[in-house]
Every structure is written in C-alpha cells, then in structure tokens.
A = this chain, B = another copy of it.
Amino acid sequence: MSEQAIAYLKENQEALLQKLYDFLAIPSVSTDPAHKEDVQRAADFLTGYLNELGFENVEKMETKGHPLVFAEYTEAGPEAPTVLLYGHYDVQPVDPIDLWDSEPFQAEVRDGRIYARGSSDDKGQTFMHLAVFEAFLKTEGKLPMNVKVCIEGEEEIGSENLYELLQDKKEQFQADFAVISDSGMAEKNQPTILYGLKGFTGIEITLTGPDHDLHSGMYGGAVRNPLMAMSHLLASMKDEKEVITIDGFYDDVEDLTSAERELMEKAPGEDFVKATNIPETVSEKGYTAKEHTMGRPTLEVNGLFGGYQGDGTKTIIPSTATAKITCRLVPGQDPQDIQEKLVNHVQKFAPSGVHVHVEKEKLSAKAYKVEPDHPLIKKAAKSYSKAFGKETVFLRMGGSIPVVEWLEAAYQYPIVLLGFGTPEDRLHSPNESFPVDSFQKGMETLAYYWNEL
C-alpha cells in the first residue's frame, strides 16, 4: 500500500516542492507584530491545503495571539488508531539579514539543500506530513489511520496559548498517540528517534545593594558590592567539577542505566570542541560530556549583568546585579520542587548587605521519556530504517519541547519524536536549510510508518 503512495511522492516531487516553496514564502514571524497578517496567511495556507485534502472540521482556532490550525480525519473508522499530528507554522526572525546568501523567504536550492527560513523548523517538516496524506488520499483514497491535526503559530514565542487550549478543549485534541516532526537526526541520513527530552525550570535573581551607583573610592570598604555578592552566590550553586551544589538537587534523578550509557557512548554526535571552538569539554564528575548533555541535569547562567559595560573604566560600586538561571531536568525531577530548591538556596546563601529578589520562571516543564521498545517507537524505527537504509539510533536530548510535556500530562499517551532535520540546518540562524533528499526520504518514512500501524 505504501508503495503506491511513495511512487506518488516521487512522481510529484517537483509539484510538492513548489507548493512547499509557496508556504515558505509567507514570512510568518510570530514574534514580530509587523508580520501578524503574514502569520494569518500561513494558517490560511494550511486550512486551504487541509480542505483540499478533504479533512473534516478544518478550523483556524483564534487565540489571544496567533491562530492554531485544527483538522480531523476519521474515515479510517473506529477500529483504526487516531494520531495527533503536532507541528508549527511560525518561524524565527531572519536577522541579521546581511548574513543570508539568498532571500530568506524565497526558497533556493543549492548543493541539494533548500535554503529558506522555516525549511527545517518547522514548516518544511510539517508540510511533509500533509504531502504524505495527499499521497495516500490520491492513490488509496484513504488514510490507514485517523488523524487530528494541531499546527500552532506560536512555538517560537513559547507556545503561550497552546497550553490553555489543550486544557479547554481536551476532548477535541484526544488521540491514541502523537507524532511530532520538529527535531533532527544525530547526523545526516542517520535515522534517529528521540526517546527523551529534558525538563526545564529557572529563576532570575536580582541583588540590590545601594539604591544608586556609588563612587568606589568614597564607599568601597563600607558597602557590599552586588556583583561580587552575586559571584559568591552563583559559585555556591555549582562546583568546578560541574556538580550542582543546590541542596537536594539530585534527590529524585533517575540514574542512567548501564544500557543507556552504552547507547549514549555509541550514539553519533557532534565533536563539541570543533563545533564550538572551546579549549576542552567539561562535564559532571563521573559522566562523559555525551552522558551529561543527554541524560544528566544541568544548571546554566544564561545572562549576568550589573554595573558599567562601556569601554574603559568607571569606578563604581553598582547598585544591582542580575542573573538569569535555567536548569534542564531529567526524568524523576519535579520542576516546581527544583525551582523551590533554587529559591531556598538563594535565600540561604546570598551574602549579607544586599537586598535579594527572586523571580520564578513561569514556563516549567517535566522531562519526557518513552521506552525505546514501545511498539509505536519500534514501528517508527523500522520505517525510518527502511526509508534511509540504515539502523535507527535512539537518543535522549538535552533540549526541552514544552508541548511534549503538556501532551503527556494531559493524555498520558506516547509521543513519537520523528524528526528529519540535520545538524547542519542552522535553525534560528541565517541560511537555514533542509536537504532535498531528507524531504523525500522523510516522507517515505512517514508513508511506511502509517502503513505499519
């Protein structure tokens, strides 16, 4: 059955790519109010396509922000499983525009790659799903499973309204499992299924000493310097062996099994030193860099500032110091609990002589993990391997995708992270691109997968 669909995809590749380019041409930059209408147009493109395919209940759900595109396909019948397809049609801004080698919203193929904003993240990957639906419908006249489509327009700005929508319309989004293609392969043409994501929480700390910047000669020796106080406080959170020294931070961490550690060791991956030009990697005592990035929690200072930042010297004791801190969490850890432990640590270890203010990060998420031998995952891996002609690897990733945690919390069903990006795609950067052959093989993977179900 999938053979016919795959033949269709091959025969119609040019037309499908042209349609994708039309989609990519809409500058649906969600963060920029100037592009509000464009975001709407991108949603209209999707509802148009879904109507064309004969999906039911095609709807542009308005939110406080940008709309979410919903649609259903139920003709596979009540015996067939229902998959929720999540994707997003909004994109990151294109600045700095000077660094693009071609127009960001005018797709151009160079060296086998489609260059355009959104080609990989996530318009391209979302479009692949719709094209595969088209192939089945044009050849078989039906899909092998029921579908609920949920393509949002606010992923790049934190999925602000999706969470509420999932709460309010829980029934409407109900399914048996979910598939998301918004991630990548460990390396090009290396079938990769993510079976775990990290959770997320954070705090912002402001230490205020004097109520205005002071002359360091007149007041130095009487007043606690907020920047030095902040340095002491931050240094008390993680030691030089990269072990987090917040009381109880590791209490609920699920240990890595030796099987997982082996999997991680074998997993292909970037050469961190080459890719980032650091002198050497550092990782938590007792764990390799790969193990730490994939499977151990982290605490990072994302921003730190206070005092004079211009050229030369300004001899002040600054009034304030601010630090932005986020943690990536692993299975077992509860984001609220960790956030509370961070706050307690700050209250306990902030030096005297400064006023302490802590702001809690609002968006927190638990880590996500599905067993790699879950039947839905095994079938996905089989399809992936078949399309790419190579054994699939299973990875946990250091990143977080909030919607994954929200879906799991709401429905407790498996989420299959079936992404086709490559490490060279330059997501969020100038010259974003996606390989033409990944487009083709990715669609084949999906066709095999739907058939396997």
Contact = CB atoms under 8 A, between A and B. Distances in A.
Number of copies of this kind of chain in the complex = 2
Given A221-B398, A398-B217, A353 B278 contact: yes
Interface string A308-346: 110011111110011110101000000000000000000
Interface residues of A, number: 84
A258 interface: no
A235 B229 CA distance: 8
A221 B278 CA distance: 13
A78 interface: no
A216 interface: yes
Given A217-B400, A222-B281, A328-B217, A315 B302 contact: yes
A222 B293 contact: yes
A358 interface: no
Contact of A276 (B223, B232, B272): B223
B272 A223 contact: yes
A390 to B, nearest CB: 22
A281 B234 contact: no
A287 to B, nearest CB: 8
Contact of A302 (B158, B314, B398, B400): B314
Interface in A394-448: 397-400
Contacts of A307: 301-305, 324
A71 B354 CA distance: 50
B298 A303 contact: no
B218 A399 contact: yes
Contacts of A303: 227, 306-309, 314, 318
A56 interface: no
B231 A235 contact: yes
Given A231-B301, A272-B222, A314-B303, A209 B278 contact: yes
A309 to B, nearest CB: 5
Given A212-B276, A302-B315, A304-B307, A228 B219 contact: no
A234 B228 contact: yes
Interface string A213-256: 01111111111110110111011011010100000000000000
A219 B328 contact: no
29 contacts: A158-B312, A198-B217, A210-B276, A214-B276, A215-B399, A216-B302, A216-B398, A218-B293, A218-B399, A220-B292, A220-B298, A221-B242, A221-B289, A222-B290, A227-B323, A228-B235, A231-B232, A231-B301, A235-B235, A279-B354, A281-B353, A300-B317, A301-B318, A302-B314, A303-B307, A303-B308, A304-B306, A304-B307, A305-B305
